[in-house]
Structure 1
């Protein structure tokens, strides 16, 4: 999860737990580890997906790490898995100590995260696996509307330097990991999430990408910002008979470390 001076709401994040969890399942399907001893989930959030790692590899020591005390507090309600508060930028495991290293929807919050890849690969055991997934939808209205509003006064004065996510195309990650000697599988998928309820796209983004922006605004401005954000999102994502469709592009990368 993210790495900035804002806090996270596990319950809001879990509003669309099934939709958010599907990319994790699709990522994990391409990790061909048989019986790893050590599995680490970097940016584990509330831990609901970390349980899938423990279920797949019941003999492994599974550790979930996240920089958010709120998320780790929620994760520790789950039995049988270790969870710790840790910032992945400062995480320093022993070289070759992790058999499977997974990071789901986390690296996009770390500026310059390509520079972290050599250290992450170094942490993986020979023949082990590094697998991560990041959103690739930052040119979609769910994000561009936030950017446009944040640049306007009176909001702009409060939002300079606020955390915003970012990622690269699959080929960039493929080249980076291949250059480190990994065998790489990289791809992208656009999911069409059918959302229901009042202002569903706002509910989605306010739990993730837009949350730092909303938290940075003073109370007397946040309500106006949210109202206009909801209005523009409703126009960009009109309600259909079956719900509101949110296209969501995701970038997947699975690398096997050299033997």
Structure 2
């Protein structure tokens, strides 16, 4: 079974994000970029399926700027077999919308014919949480989102997923879409020998035009602003003073 894993290049989660002075978006100049953490979890799960003998090949695909090739090389160093880069933007500030990404991924799925697509549940830059669901709808496949355990059983997958009330176990017929949640696994660090080997693994470069997909934006960012700063806390001297502040100042009682 072939497993396809979409990965996205985003600002590293350790970086303090800054908003542009004109509030048109986030400043990406000279900022460290890395693989979306949820996508990294998805790559790890696909590689583990291959190591177990369940998957025969792991293919990773990224859609965006040419620099996303570095992100794909990271996935190859983790254990993926080959990569596909779809160059759909020349400006790093241009984010390809989920519907366009889903349409491009559908074209890749039609060409590659994987038995399973594992994606991160969302990207940490826009938090859309939509691409996996849209891809499932376009393909007409079953989906299991927010997975924290995936077990392949014959022609189906048993997925334990996180819901508001706890855990829910579902069975989905393959081929299917699975989106990875935080507790699915802990991604491995790529070793130096594997990083060197990744440079020789195949990385195919395509464009959105090659797949005949219109990626013209349908959404417009009106303004980007930092969240309001939190007020400093106040130490009170007694329970009566606390109750008074909660009643008169906070208005919660």
Q: Shared topology, TM-score over 0.5?
A: no
**Band the TM-score falls in, shorter-chain normalisation:** 0.3 to 0.5
Q: TM-score, normalised by structure 1?
A: 0.35
Which structure features the higher share of helix residues? 1
Larger radius of gyration: 2
